[in-house]
Chains A and B, each alone.
Chain A
Amino acid sequence: MSATSIPFEIPAKFLLDHALGNVERYGAILKHVDTGRIVGHVQETGMLSHVLNVAQIVEPTGVASLIGVAQNAQVSRKLTALQSAVGTLQSLQMVNLASSVAGIGVTAASTAIIMKRLGVVNESLDRVEDMIGGLPVKLREMDLRKTLVNIQTSLDRLDGAGLRRDGDSVVKSAEEKLHYGFNSMLDGLSIVVIEKNADPALVNSLLAGLSLCGSAQIKALYWLNELEEAERQSRSQFEKLEKLSLMVPQDILETRISGGAEPAARIASDLSEVRARVASMPGLTKKIRSLDIHGRAYLERLEDEQESPLLLLPAEAGLQEDSPRTDRKWWALR
């Protein structure tokens, strides 16, 4: 299927339902509240990514203020389009989400934006190190910042990959490093969250780094049209995140994160969004495979979209998609 024939829809027709509470978003999935049936997969586009880039919203933990954004004329015009598409409140939520650790669907962020965000994570780790007088020993041994620099260098080569004869090998190399980066960040997080008085900024940075590496890795696999592997890797990312989440439910985070309930709640919320986003990816990728869409064509379509910040890949497109709940057993009564 070519990029132009991907059966995307502008999600406007679902907005009323969303406003009425008939449909809800979970990660990148939009579903009916009453039936649980999936309406479609919400997907951010290059237009949204452009808004964020112009606005210099590169704070990977999603805490960037939107005040300055609205004052920027170029961004303002884009935001108006965003508002007309998804409504004011939703647009701000979407911008926050897209600029946060989570994102929506396959990342539409360009290599430059991903690099910029990774740079912020790197600087943030630097600041935290200064602030708390050095990272925990195990983290220092992992040398996460060196890992990030390696990833950035590798990503730097990605920009012109499409024009190079060895484009595939460049992207493959980047994908491998991103995979390694995801696992390193996850290991770092696992070490930090079991310590008492863990620094929330450090946890945020690691979570942001993990999310960026994970989403960029999946994007690289899409570029290579390795969709089956993308589905497998996104499932593996989810399983790792699930394991981490089971280690640190919010009440445990509250006892471990310095500052107590408030920063712990924010981290739990970020972790939940990342988990939801990653959880959406295997299903989305499976859908794309079932529609016989080429991975690179999918990315091109997202990057080329200039009008709508979000697109919806309807569940009805192509083969009928089953409800996520129909194959589940009834909750066994005790």
Chain B
Amino acid sequence: MSNEPARAQVVDWWSAERARVSLELEERLPLLLIEVDKVIDEMPLKAFIRRGRFQTRQINPIVGKWIEAEYKRLSAEIDESFFADVIGPEEHKSHDGWSADELLTAGAATAFSIAPLAALPFVGGLLVSTGFLGLSATLAIIPASIVGAGLVALGLGPSIRGWARRKLRETFRARIRTNIRMRVLGEPERPEIASLKGTIFTELDGFLSKRLGELE
């Protein structure tokens, strides 16, 4: 029997899953950003002195947990749709006496889920901003010790101090958002940076390639 329809179906599945993953990550990313925003809103001013440490201790765990959860959720869904749409009922025949459903129930057939989460290089840490937060030159060269109280000492009034705080926070927020976005959705111009979407796409491409190889 010709295998072209089966090949066409697996390409359909692959294309649709890539589109779904892309769309869902875009749609769900704001939920993570809102969560991170809350942490940044409550970030004490002195934390800006060592913002790298604050990011590592306060923000990265939230992002890592979210990425891990999304990876697990999407991989489980991809596994399910792969068996439903690609493998098909006839191949739900026994493999050493196990049906595909049984394997799925036992968790042994979840090709995606058994991929070690350590394989997600970004779970351990986001890109850590390396100092320059895009502040204006004036603010950037103010020694960390005078941020906050120091501004008064320099003769700058409360309104300026409030503006500086806001500026500092918003710049930090923008930087963190860019980093998170890059780690979740990737950046076409910077393919060397691993992302959740890129990792899942690599898995999907691997599924496709393997399946097409089987159908040759």
Q: Which residues of A contact B (CB under 8 A)?
A: 26-27, 29, 33-38, 235, 238, 242, 245-246, 249-251, 254-255, 261, 265, 268, 272, 275-276, 278-283, 286, 321-334
A242 to B18, Cβ gap below 8 A? no
**Given A255-B188, A330-B95, A331-B211; A283-B18 close (CB under 8 Å):** no
Q: How far is the CA of A165 from the CA of B90 in the complex (A)?
A: 51
Chain B residue contacts of A321, Cβ below 8 A:
1
B15 to A333, Cβ gap below 8 A? no
**Given A250-B16, A332-B210; A279-B88 close (CB under 8 Å):** no
Q: Which of A36, A249, A286, A333 contacts B2 (CB 8 A)?
A: A286
B90 to A325, Cβ gap below 8 A? yes
A245 to B15, Cβ gap below 8 A? yes
A334 to B4, Cβ gap below 8 A? no
User: Is B3 an interface residue, CB under 8 A from the partner?
Assistant: yes
B91 to A251, Cβ gap below 8 A? no
Number of residue pairs spanning A and B whose beta carbons lie under 8 angstroms apart? 118
B15 to A242, Cβ gap below 8 A? no
User: Is B8 an interface residue, CB under 8 A from the partner?
Assistant: yes
Chain B residue contacts of A322, Cβ below 8 A:
1
Q: Which residues of B contact A (CB under 8 A)?
A: 1-9, 11-12, 14-16, 18-19, 21-23, 82-83, 87-91, 93, 95, 103, 108-109, 111, 114-115, 188, 208, 210-211, 214-215
Among A238, A265, A330, max chain B CB count under 10 A is at A330
B7 to A242, Cβ gap below 8 A? yes
- Give 29 A-B contacts (CB < 8 Å), ordered by A residue: A27-B5, A27-B8, A35-B89, A36-B89, A36-B90, A245-B11, A245-B15, A249-B19, A250-B16, A250-B18, A251-B18, A251-B22, A254-B19, A265-B19, A268-B15, A276-B8, A280-B4, A282-B2, A283-B5, A321-B1, A323-B1, A324-B1, A324-B2, A327-B1, A328-B90, A328-B215, A330-B91, A331-B87, A334-B115
A238 to B19, Cβ gap below 8 A? no
Chain A residue contacts of B108, Cβ below 8 A:
333
B91 to A328, Cβ gap below 8 A? yes
